[in-house]
Structure 1
Amino acid sequence: MATDDKTTSHPADPARPGSGDKPGSRAKRAMLGAWFGFFVDLFDIYLPTVALAPAIAYFIAPDLGATGIAITGGMIFTATLIGRPIGAAIFGRFADTVGRKRATIVAMNGAGIATLLMALLPGYHQLGVASVLLFVALRLVGGIFLGGEYTAANPLAMEAAPRHKRGLYSGIINTGFPLAYAAVSLITLLLLLVMPAQGVDSAYAQWGWRIPFVIGAVLAFVLVAYYRRSVDESELFTKQKGTKTPIKTLFSGRNLSAFLQVFALMTGFWLSLQPVAAVLPTLLGADGIGMSSQATTLLLVVAYLLLAAVDVAAAVLSQRIGRRTFLVYAGAVMATVATTVYFLLVRFGPGNPRLAVVCTVLVVIVVVCPWAVLPAYINERFPTSVRASGYGLAYSLAVIVPSFYAFYQAGLGFVMPFNYTGIVLLGVGALTIVGAALAGPETKDIDFRAHADVSA
């Protein structure tokens, strides 16, 4: 029978995951590991778009035009995109049959090796077009391994967390996203100040871009060492064991209902994120609001650092009012407040830098902070036997349809000014979040030890 944490207490016991709140408890070590893993994951995601972008000429033919450069960037993005759900399927099964800890260690070893190999690649002048093809292939491999990282590490952390602190731990884990963006952006800015990217023969284009990639690889190997020494296997997994066919079990019965509801929710999240994460940096640039690239980067760094603090507060709030209630209200605020602020940014931002700064910070915080609830909420939607598979696949597969945001914008551009199309995507994504959250149950009081299927 499930017990309620409000009426039943357990003494601190190092053998019980999450039973003690003292520093050094296995719950906090698992949470720190998941945070570190999420940081490394997002650090890796931004390496090509932030660190490599100023040196992309190193990998492409000198006579390649803007279209060719865009296609190259699309290939890199697509490879990473395809890798994530593949990794979630492979390592979700691994984590649900062999163990969360072992899956995390294998995944991060693979990710570190792939990132290090990227840093060692020769360029177009040495290998021709094979250089960029090798880079794309390594991004695919790295994406597979990194898709396995959060698929295993986040369920481990949530299973170790005390029930009444799952919201807090979820928020802390999610701060790895904004902090990783800030870190890779600041590292790149500092390198560009020391060695400006002035053509393919510049120091940054030849070897400077490799430094952030090496840092990313080292961080992955440090994470592996941390998990080996400090993180215990999930006791819930050890006691309850998993099914031999987690993917088949996930896509049947009540688990399938839970998966489809979370998939719809995540589709809304990914769609609403694109106007902020993908479109906003370009909108703020010279052809939109009129900011320089350095000013845009610094503004977004500040916005994401503020977001890190709000992430924790938002997740703690969900622990008080409920995940479902929080997600419904968050989606409603995104659909009303965020779209209005985005409109003000597009309409009045050019020539008004103060307004642009305020609107940018508000949009980033309102749209992105609800993600802080997801590590807890998604894991609460699935039983232990398929939790890693359910979390990883629902989280990763949902990104595919929203990833074609540029095509949706192009279509909308026939009926409205292009810079306003992001508002439509944001609104549709937000309303999808509201509908999907309403379709699911409240989860904050789910007792993982009961091994109950929490599908609606």
Structure 2
Amino acid sequence: MSSTLAAAPAGAPANATVANPRSRVILASLIGTTIEFYDFYVYATAAVLVFPHLFFPPGNDTAALLASFAVFGAAMVARPLGAIFFGHLGDRRGRKVTLVGALLTMGIATFLVGVLPTYPQVGWLAPGLLVIMRIAQGFALGGEWSGAALVATENAPAGKRAVYGTFPQLGAPLGFILANGLFLAIAALMPSEDPSRPSDAFLSWGWRIPFLFSIVMVAVGLWVRLNLVESAAFEKTVKAGKVQKLPLASVFRGHWRELVLGTFYMLATYVLFYLMTTFSLSYGRAGVNAALPGLGYDYTTFVLMMIIGVVFFGIFTMVSGPWADRWGRRRTLIAVTLAIIAFGLLWVPMLSAGPVGVMAWLILGFSLMGMTFGPMGALLPELFPANLRYTGSGISYNVSSILGAAVAPFIAVALWAWGGGSPFWVGVYLSAMAVLTLIALILGSETRDVDIEA
């Protein structure tokens, strides 16, 4: 298997090997997660705009929205299963083949959502098929992130693992901008007279375009990933005979503490992530005088505001890498988590301050998202040895999706309704989850100086 390694650069020690050139590492780790998050966000946007109208019984808008979010959450439940399956492959067969499989699974599932029949056409079969496709998306994403993070960190130069670990994290803001930008363009070409509801043309066929377009992006991603070669860390594991027959059993037996800590490290990140992307779109578009009142923005205006916020998400994702390499992952994330706790308690005054306050809320929320999400690309892989890293980091990352992202939109809508339309308790919920992350970070240790090939 050592034949898959590239030649050592000039001036390097005779026994040095380089798994992939820097440009290939950046592109492979970035483009794959961009496509995966694009597919994920396409569904998240449709869960608010389209699916409550087309895939569930009419008559109760709030119930339809909650049902749509429940299907959205089903993917999060599938993600740990994907992490186990793809983690097993990644730790036994290598990172490359596993990443290709995850990308294909996501791409096919997303494309098929674009051709599904709706509730008026086939009744309850429509949401049933939607659930199956959504579970397939979650299953694929469960194997995607950890593999992309490993490609980046296992190929990083010394002292720059957190910087390289931000490359796969950038897929989240880029995927959001691509998915929502495409939905925005289609909605602009198919305008609606009712700002609270998409046009008939959009509901009839326009919403399908972003799902069908994903197949083109998947083809590009496959071309990039098929040109990868295995990392030196995995090759060293194979040569040393350390590949585990059952990585799942080994990681639970010998690294259960790291699994628990990693899961709670990600908790605040996940809750913030899905409150700022999914819940905020519902709250921002809800009418001021609606049964469940919100901010009353039309779809185009609010999505443009969100995209501005997501630009800051991308900027601070990149900024967080050098911070985490300089000051350490733990110290950086403790400071950011304290800021998230404070942010959750400021929702009402910020959202009550008019358009300027709402824009400041989006920018601050997405900036904090970048600062907490960026270092995770290095931190979670560093918790585990090379022969269990795909499985361990994937399980921590994706089990946290159940505790955080799977229930966050659903809990947020319930708290929104319970508070009579006020977002106060939604912000408190975010702060409470961030407190749990803070406790985990305090209990954990710094990982900046661990040997990534060990």
Whether the 8 Å contact between 1:32 and 1:173 is mirrored in structure 2 is no
Distance 1:271 1:110, change over 3 A: closer
| Structure-2 residue corresponding to 1:267 | 267
Identical-pair percentage: 24
Relative to the length of structure 1, the TM-score reads 0.86
1:360 is displaced (CA, Å) by 2.3
Distance 1:41 1:115, change over 3 A: same
Distance 1:145 1:408, change over 3 A: closer
| 1-structure distance, mates of 2:221, 2:334 | 35
| 1-structure distance, mates of 2:262, 2:56 | 43
| Structure-2 residue corresponding to 1:326 | 332
| 2-structure distance, mates of 1:96, 1:62 | 44
| 1-structure distance, mates of 2:360, 2:376 | 26
Distance 1:364 1:342, change over 3 A: farther
Compare 273-282 and 428-437 and name the one that shifted more. Answer: 273-282
| 2-structure distance, mates of 1:372, 1:275 | 18
Counterpart residue identity of residue 106, structure 1: G
Whether the 8 Å contact between 2:270 and 2:401 is mirrored in structure 1 is yes
1:61 is displaced (CA, Å) by 6.1
Residue deviations 1:288-333, cap 9 Å, x none? Answer: 3333222111101001012211211111111111111111111122
1:88 is displaced (CA, Å) by 0.6
1:412 is displaced (CA, Å) by 9.3
1:416 is displaced (CA, Å) by 9.2
Counterpart residue identity of residue 232, structure 2: E
Distance 1:12 1:53, change over 3 A: farther
| 1-structure distance, mates of 2:431, 2:308 | 25
| Structure-1 residue corresponding to 2:7 | none
* Structure 1 unmatched ranges of 5 or more: 1-8, 19-24, 452-456
| Structure-2 residue corresponding to 1:422 | 426
Residue deviations 1:225-279, cap 9 Å, x none? Answer: 2111x211122112213211110110113x1111111112122332344443333
Q: Which residue, 163, 166, 174 being the options, matches 2:158?
A: 163
1:335 is displaced (CA, Å) by 1.9
1:117 is displaced (CA, Å) by 1.7
1:17 is displaced (CA, Å) by 3.2
Distance 1:131 1:15, change over 3 A: farther
Counterpart residue identity of residue 422, structure 1: V
* 1:17 aligned onto 2:14: no
| Structure-1 residue corresponding to 2:215 | 217
| Structure-2 residue corresponding to 1:362 | 364
Q: Which residue, 312, 317, 321 being the options, matches 2:323?
A: 317
Distance 1:411 1:227, change over 3 A: closer
CA-based RMSD of the aligned residues comes to 2.8
Counterpart residue identity of residue 34, structure 1: S
| Structure-1 residue corresponding to 2:3 | none
Whether the 8 Å contact between 2:44 and 2:278 is mirrored in structure 1 is no
* Structure 2 unmatched ranges of 5 or more: 1-9, 288-292
| Structure-2 residue corresponding to 1:239 | 236
1:53 is displaced (CA, Å) by 4.3
Tell me the SS of whatever aligns to 1:74. helix
Whether the 8 Å contact between 1:410 and 1:418 is mirrored in structure 2 is no
| 2-structure distance, mates of 1:252, 1:72 | 38
Instruction: List aligned pairs for 1:129-208, cutoff 5 A.
Output: 129-196=124-191, 202-208=200-206
Counterpart residue identity of residue 426, structure 2: G
| Structure-2 residue corresponding to 1:252 | 253
| 2-structure distance, mates of 1:192, 1:265 | 38
| 1-structure distance, mates of 2:252, 2:39 | 30
Whether the 8 Å contact between 1:58 and 1:206 is mirrored in structure 2 is no
Counterpart residue identity of residue 128, structure 2: L
1:76 is displaced (CA, Å) by 2.2
Counterpart residue identity of residue 393, structure 2: Y
Task: Give the number of aligned pairs.
Answer: 430
| Structure-1 residue corresponding to 2:441 | 437
* 1:393 aligned onto 2:395: yes
* 1:448 aligned onto 2:452: yes
1:211 is displaced (CA, Å) by 1.2
